[in-house]
Amino acid sequence: MSFAFEIAWADHSGRAADLPDYMKVIVSDAPPASATDVANQNVLALDLAMFGLYDDAQAKFQKNFLSEHPVILALFSNQGGKLTLIRPGKPPLDAPQAPIRYQIYKSVGHSSLAVFELAGSHLGTVSDLSWVGPMRGFRDANQVALDSLDLVYAV
């Protein structure tokens, strides 16, 4: 868009009613943004402008860092996650999946943490009963697991 067009468009911006019908879909008749809103957006746009700089810096850092230092990349999941050793000048080395025994222990161990998180996050708001439904659902999942315990992999 040329500068001359921008000036010409700005001169006629107050006459949205004069536009053809097919243009009214595109042009808003909302009041213009306040100077404060525009200023806020200008400053917030700095964050977007930094993404390219961050991407370049990250690529350089990764190249330099990984060329000299080994790193363990851990991606966690319900099965224990995936661990990858990245070594300078060598192909990545993946650790084997966590054994089923570990996965079962993790599942049982995290159950009490889930109960605490669900109930504890509502201790300050006794009248808020939004935790009751999720707690009942989690109780049902615990009961199903408990009913299956005799058939679980020997631990």
Nearest to 107 by CA among 64, 62, 153, 72: 153
* Tens digit of each residue's pLDDT (9 = 90 or more) over 29-50: 778 889 999 999 999 898 888 8
Predicted TM-score (pTM) of the model is 0.46
The residue with tokens 């889930």 is 114
- Which residues share a beta bridge with 93? 85
153 pLDDT higher than 80: no
Q: What pLDDT does residue 143 have? A: 94
Check: CB of residue 137 under 8 Å from CB of residue 118: no
List of residues 6+ apart from 27 with CB closer than 8 A: 16, 19
Q: Which amino acid is at 46?
A: L
